[in-house]
Amino acid sequence: MKTINQDKIIALLFVGLTILFLVIAMTNQTFFDWIFERHQNQWSWFIRPVFLIPFCFFAYKRSWTGVSITIFCIFTSMFWFNKPEYVNDNVKAFLQFEKDWLYSDWNYEKIMLIITVPISFFALGFAFWKRSLIIGLAVIVLMATGKIVWSIQNAGESGKSIIIPAIIGLIICSGLIFYGFKKLEKNKRQDSNKEKIK
Determine the Cα–Cα distance for residues 186 and 172; give it in Å rounded to an integer: 21
Percent of the chain as helix, strand, coil, to the nearest 5: 85, 0, 15
Report the pLDDT value the prediction gives residue 196, as an integer from 0 to 100. Answer: 61
Determine the Cα–Cα distance for residues 141 and 144; give it in Å rounded to an integer: 5
In this structure, is the dihedral angle defined by the CA atoms of residues 53, 54, 55 and 61, taken in order, positive or negative? Answer: positive
Determine the Cα–Cα distance for residues 2 and 132; give it in Å rounded to an integer: 28
Report the pLDDT value the prediction gives residue 110, as an integer from 0 to 100. Answer: 79
Report the pLDDT value the prediction gives residue 191, as an integer from 0 to 100. Answer: 64
pLDDT band at 193 (very low <50, low <70, confident <90, very high): low
Average pLDDT of the chain is 84
DSSP state of 104: S
* SS3 assignment for 117-182: HHHHHHHHHHHHHCCCHHHHHHHHHHHHHHHHHHHHHHHHHHHHHHHHHHHHHHHHHHHHHHHHHH
Mean of pLDDT values over 116-126: 90
Q: Do 131 and 11 meet the contact criterion of CB atoms below 8 Å apart?
A: no
Q: Do 69 and 138 meet the contact criterion of CB atoms below 8 Å apart?
A: no
pLDDT at 126 over 80: yes
pLDDT at 129 over 70: yes
By the 10 Å C-beta count (0-12 exposed, 13-18 middle, 19+ buried), 62 is classed as middle
For the chain, the structural domain boundaries read 2-197
pTM of the model: 0.80
For 8-35, what is each residue's pLDDT tens digit? 899 999 999 999 999 998 888 888 889 8
Q: What angle do CA 76, 81, 87 make, to 5 degrees?
A: 115
For 54-113, what is each residue's pLDDT tens digit? 999 999 999 999 999 999 999 998 888 888 888 777 777 878 888 788 787 788 877 888
Determine the Cα–Cα distance for residues 141 and 187; give it in Å rounded to an integer: 26
Mean of pLDDT values over 155-177: 80
pLDDT at 146 over 70: yes
